[in-house]
Amino acid sequence: MNYNYSGAYYYSPEQQLRLQKQHQISAMRSDCNKVGFFVMIYFLAMYALVYMCVFLIEGGILSSSKENEFFMNILYAVGASLIPGLIFIAASKTRISDVLTSTHVKISKMLPIIMFGMGVAMLANVAASLFDSNISLFQLKNYASQDTEGSTLFEFLLSVIGTALVPAFAEEFAFRGIVLSRLRKYGDSFAIFASALLFGAMHGNTTQIVFAFLLGLIFAYVDVKTNSIIPSVIIHFFNNFYAVLANSMVNSNTLTEQQSQLFSYILMVAFSLLGLLSIVYLSKTDKYFFKLNDSAEAVSLLEFKNKINTFIINPGVMIALSLFTAEMIVNMIPPELLGLS
């Protein structure tokens, strides 16, 4: 702070720049903190619903049938995203149209975007498998149960709805609708990375965390480029449906495990090739599709690393990430040690 000849003080250009940067960090930290608490409440709401259902089953009010398991999956997905989501929207005075953006995307563009997303999903599967294999060298393993596929046609249809369709809408509403849209004013590159980081960490197990993070990058990217949540919902659904179909074929004895693996490899190669062709097509038809423009961001004085530091170092995000990490650690403890076997 300096003084002029009249005794009044003024800020030098360097001081003004520093104050503007501090103001931008403060504003950004406030929004990131709110997003962190929203994701934390999302996580806690899901567990609250899980324990509520466990209590009802143990009390004999609900049966532990396979059909009820699928209905409970729907309850977990809808309840965990819808209730905290509506509270967040009301408290932050956000418009629904800002969360559920649905700019029309032509079918000629939507199809290659879906194939692009599925191609990346195949590569993400490989990355996740490699990650799991590497941590197994240290005697670490994910024990979280993920078997929600049915062996009958009715159970398969319930599984598609409860494991593929509903979670696709619910998770995209939460992480791309609320989290991504809230952070976009701080730059699309940052918003894509930050929303994907929370999305990956939220899954809380080593099998999915890498996979979900990479998919989260693609989900957020295509939504940013189309200004619509629809592309990520569709890619999310097809990815989940692919997993449900492959596992259901094994459970129903339609295919042996070896045949199922061969089927998965064929689909993986096919989607990878279609994804590569889609990248070429999108590059030719839209020269800006693979470019991000952050020129209109609200924190123009902050570098990307400053944004990441601001995003992570605040109570909401730190608590949320701590909970996700704790869940991942618990999921690596053998069930018999927890008395669950």
Q: Is the pLDDT of residue 1 over 70?
A: no
300-308: long-range contacts (C-beta < 8 A, 24 or more apart)? 300/24, 301/17, 301/20, 301/21, 301/24, 302/21, 302/24, 302/25, 302/28, 302/186, 304/187, 304/189, 304/190, 306/25, 307/28, 307/186, 307/187, 307/190, 307/194, 308/190, 308/193, 308/194
Q: Is the pLDDT of residue 8 over 60?
A: no
Query: Which residue is it, tokens 């129903």?
Result: 252
Convert the pLDDT of each residue in 48-107 to its tens digit. Answer: 999 999 899 888 888 888 778 888 888 999 999 999 999 999 988 888 888 888 788 999
pLDDT at residue 94 in the model: 84
Q: Is the pLDDT of residue 253 over 90?
A: no
Determine contact, residues 103/226, Cβ cutoff 8 Å.
yes
156 vs 296, more confident: 156
Determine contact, residues 143/334, Cβ cutoff 8 Å.
yes
Q: What percent of the chain has pLDDT over 70?
A: 90
